[in-house]
Amino acid sequence: MANFNLGRMKEAELSATRAVAADQFPRAHYILGHILAARGDYRGAVEHLSKYLDLMVGTADAARVRAELQEARSHIPQLP
């Protein structure tokens, strides 16, 4: 989280990816979703933001995360 807040995206992505793989820190999905969205990987962002909401049902920031999820989805081209 500190790397993310300091703008060290490469380090933040590495840490978040490790935390997601170890299934240690649900918020890592949220952080990784934001990192991927910033890189333009909106499919990845949607995957991780959705996973965060699945893991943190009823979280206080759920409405905001759902709005962020919708924003990420809006960048994915629709299939014909």
pLDDT of residue 57: 85
- Are 43 and 76 in contact by the 8 Å Cβ rule? The answer is yes
CATH code of the domain containing 48? 1.25.40.10
80 occurs within a structural domain: no
- Overall domain count for the chain: 1
* Residue 17 DSSP class: H
Is 79 within a domain? no
State mean pLDDT over 14-19: 93
Read off the pTM: 0.88
**Whole-angstrom distance, CA of residue 48 vs CA of residue 54:** 10
* Position 78 pLDDT exceeds 60: yes
Task: Note down the domain range covering 33.
Answer: 2-73
Q: How far apart are CA 80 and CA 41, in angstroms?
A: 20
pLDDT in tens, 24-64: 899 999 999 999 999 999 999 999 999 999 999 888 999 99
Asked if 33 contacts 7 with a C-beta cutoff of 8 angstroms, the reply is no
